[in-house]
Structure 1
Amino acid sequence: MMLGDLGAEVIKVEHPKGGDDTRAWGPPFAENQDHADTTAGESAYFLCVNRNKKSVTVNMKSKGGRELLHDLVRQSDVLVENYLPGKLASMGMGYEELSKINPRLVYASITGYGQDGPYADRPGYDVIIEAEAGLMHITGEPDGVPVKVGVAITDLTTGLYAKGAILAALIQRGMTGKGQHIDCSLLESQVASLANIASNYLVGGREAKRMGTAHPSIVPYQVFPTKDSFMMIGAGNDGQFAKFCQRVGLQDLVDDARFKTNADRVQHRQELIQLIEDELTQQGTQYWLDQLQGAGFPFAPINNIAQTFDHPQIKARGLVHEVDHPRAGKIKMVGPPTKFSGFKPSVRLPPPTLGAHTNEVLETVLGYDKQHIESLRSDGAIGK
């Protein structure tokens, strides 16, 4: 999707029967009440990441299907796949074979554990890797059980790493004329995303623990209760801490020897947090938001999803796009988040219905005539 947002023509290859599993992941489903098709519901899960793609249905187990995909590879810059290592090679679609067909091909494999090693043949899922790669261990309240992040963050992080690797490989291909195989795993992407937590262990031998919303190295830097809800306060240095204290009526803490520096505040974390909570719970969140406005340090309410999309900055930046879907009618989606001065990413195509572009791609991209296409269809190489 991210490559499609940047202007790439993306062809999504799906199995003729059912297609992408996430098409059935619901509710909720987007439905056009005025549409005559009673099967018009589209999974919100599928809709969120499949814009700017064309759907082609291919049975890779058939001879005609494999030949079709080989023809497509000849004209493609990038192939992205997430099969278990060796699975596509057994079907004539591995990197070694396809690189002979198109030496310029950038072939990106995304797996749970990588292409080799003792765990290579294990299937990988976001929540499994969150558990296995340390993220779940550090997520949750100090006295609570490990919990997963609210979205599939390991999947998303791995996608971002893969996108960067693909773009880098395309730049290198521009210099060498040759493509290459990219090996991207959920496990390694998640470990890399441990960031300072990983460094604390590797450099200092410090084992991490769950801290709720608190920061292991900065105080105060966490969610605090107010009289009616919660809010996030981030005072990342001594100057910001002083400004915070002045705005909430805790000026005496600035000169308290226990809290003079960040190191002091980390050492006396529990005492300071209790003093701040005692003060903030005297008033509601909106009162404190007004008090802290323009204070020169970061703070925020804890918004729900409705409040997030009603946020004035989100509206001003035009992040939500509305597109016409052929079966679900008008749907809203989160658009490309990055702005460019010389280029505007856009939602050119709505998420496709299953196989919607099979004929178009076979005719315009591969140059197949109608007779050839119907022959493939009758042989079961492509969907109906």
Structure 2
Amino acid sequence: MSFIPGSLHGLRVVDLSRVLGGPYCTQILADHGAEVIKIEPPNGDETRTWGPPFDGDTAAYFQGVNRNKLGAVLDLSQPADRERLLALLDSADVLVENFKIGTLERWGLGYEATLAPRFPRLVHCRISGFGADGPLGALPGYDAAIQALTGLMSVNGETGGAPLRVGVPVVDLVTGLNAALGIMLALRERDTSGRGQFVESTLFDCALSILHPHSTNYFYSGKEPQRSGNAHPNITPYDMFHTGSTDIFLAVGNNAQFATLCRVIAAPELADDARYADNKLRSQHRRELREALEARFAAWDGAQLADTLIRQGVPCAPVLGLGAALAHPHTAHRAMRVEIAAEHNPGRTYSGIASPIKLGRTPATYRSAPPALGEHTAQVFGAAEDPSCSR
């Protein structure tokens, strides 16, 4: 199969970010053809140590968000390495960083004073906890703390139970997604103006942005949302249910779906019950409806029931573990698993989740495993680079 350049082929991205939001953003760009140069400090991105599990000496956490990148090392506290960075930015389209705010300015690399005048076409994307100013400006932000601060934890958990952190670092991930989107918006505008600009994506803003429907419910009711476990605050039945075997998640969004559900489980009396005539009434009688449904579901195998319902147009799925989800035939059909031979680590194979962004003519490609620390320093800065700066 011949190589198909990605949609971002020819774009050069200098990635100074570490941990999750920034690397997740730049992996999106790299998967779609951008040349991403990941610059790490001499001790490396700290997530290289965030294990177990480890792939050799590198934690799986790092491996998950750093494929398709060239890896180089610079010590930006040193003037000579700051000059090397500036030389690299001469040919770059995008700079992504998540330093503590004020760090680049202290090094003489601030956007307004240095980068924008010297590189007018550069798109500079900064990922931070709270932005540079305001009551929380320049303070450090971490996913779980932002979940707590912005109300995400308050709506997550069992009815009557304590607030819970969402089980994946959703704030970091959505901040990375918004950073990638912001970069593409800025690049699109650059096509017209010829000028780069500053792009900002903060954990705080992004966490607030994903509070739907709780935020809009609050705007229109003035009432604090209550934790409802797996149940939806606005829709019924929309919850996890027990069956004769595997639990299922049922998501009935309209009256037609409810009628189909009742037909499939041979419960016409529920479809005819005035208490369940529409979503508003079903929501008022959640407990009774749940008991009636689970009494019917007890005779069913959960996986069979879920498959029958979804094929009849009722959104439903068995509640699977991660291993089962990754082994699902549709995961394979959608090509959502990636394996790459690790060139720097013979005998080892990189495994990861593929890009969910599917382009018809210029699909994502998976060209290289995550780099070893400083693996491409000489390649990035030239073979004649001072050996003391190559790793």
Q: When the two structures are superposed, what TM-score results if normalisation uses the length of structure 1? A: 0.91
Query: Secondary structure at 2:223's aligned position in 1?
Result: coil
Once the two structures are superposed, residues 116-164 of structure 1 have per-residue CA deviations (whole angstroms, 9 ceiling, x without a partner) of 1111121101111111111111111112211111211110011111111
Task: Kindly state the Cα deviation for residue 3 of structure 1 after the two structures are TM-superposed.
Answer: 0.4
Find the residue that maps to 1:84 and give its secondary structure. coil
Residues 104 and 291 of structure 1: CA distance in aligned 2, closer, same or farther (over 3 Å): closer
Provide structure 1 residue ranges, at least 5 long, that are not aligned to the other structure.
31-39, 364-368
For residues 303-362 of structure 1, the C-alpha deviation after alignment (integer angstroms, 9 at most, x for no partner) is 111110111111112111110112261222111122111112111121000000100011
SS in 1 for 2:51: coil
Secondary structure in 1 matching 2:103: coil
> Relative contact order, CA 8 A, sep 6+: which one is greater?
1
Counterparts of 1:333-348 in structure 2, within 5 Å, are 333-348=352-367
Q: Match for residue 243 of structure 1?
A: 260
Question: How far did residue 291 of structure 1 move?
Answer: 4.4
Residues of 1 paired with 2:212 and 2:193: CA distance?
33
* Cα drift, residue 383 of structure 1: 4.7
Provide the C-alpha distance between the structure 2 equivalents of 1:289 and 1:185, rounded to a whole number of angstroms.
39
Using the TM superposition, give the Cα deviation of residue 20 of structure 1 relative to its aligned residue in structure 2, in angstroms: 0.4
The equivalences for 1:1-384 within 5 A come to 1-17=27-43, 19-30=44-55, 40-96=56-112, 97-289=114-306, 291-292=308-309, 294-325=311-342, 326-327=344-345, 329-363=348-382, 370=384, 373-374=385-386, 377-378=387-388, 382-384=389-391
Cα deviations by residue, 1:236-259 (Å, 9 ceiling, x for unpaired): 000100110111122101111111
**Runs of 4+ with deviation above 2 angstroms:** 281-284, 286-294
Deviation at 1:64, TM superposition (A): 0.5
Contact 1:16 1:383 in 2 (8 A): no
**Displacement of 1:293:** 5.4
Once residues 169 and 289 of structure 1 are traced to their aligned partners in structure 2, the CA distance between those partners, rounded to angstroms, is 43
Structure 1 stretch displaced more, 195-204 or 98-107: 195-204
Structure 1 residue identity aligned to 2:360:
S
Give distance in 2, aligned partners of 1:155 and 1:276: 37
- Superposed displacement of residue 85, structure 1: 1.6
Q: Is the 8 A contact 1:56 1:358 kept in 2?
A: yes
Q: Which amino acid aligns with 1:74?
A: D
1:279 shift after superposition = 2.0
Q: Distance in 2 between matches of 1:308 and 1:20?
A: 30
Question: Take 2:350 and 2:75, find their aligned partners in 1: how far apart are those partners?
Answer: 30
3-state SS in 1 of match to 2:339 = strand
Q: 1:319 to 1:286 in 2, by over 3 A?
A: closer
Displacement after TM superposition at 1:204 (Å) = 2.7
CA separation of 1:166 and 1:302: change in aligned 2, threshold 3 A: same
Q: Displacement of 1:288 after TM fit?
A: 2.2
Say if 2:41 and 2:75, in contact at 8 Å, map to a contact too: yes
> Secondary structure at the residue paired with 1:232?
strand
**What amino acid maps onto 1:28 in structure 2?**
P
Inter-CA distance 183–338: structure 2 relative to 1 (3 Å threshold): closer
Contact 1:248 1:291 in 2 (8 A): no
User: Equivalents in 2 of 1:85, 1:322: separation in Å?
Assistant: 37
CA displacement at 1:287 relative to structure 2: 4.2
Contact persistence 1:70–1:101 (CA under 8 A): no
Give TM-score, length-normalised by structure 2.
Answer: 0.89
8 Å Cα contact 1:115-1:183 kept in structure 2: no
d(CA) in 2 for partners of 1:93, 1:209:
46
**CA contact under 8 A between 2:246 and 2:303: conserved in structure 1?**
no
Amino acid aligned to 2:46: D
Root mean square deviation, CA, Å:
1.4
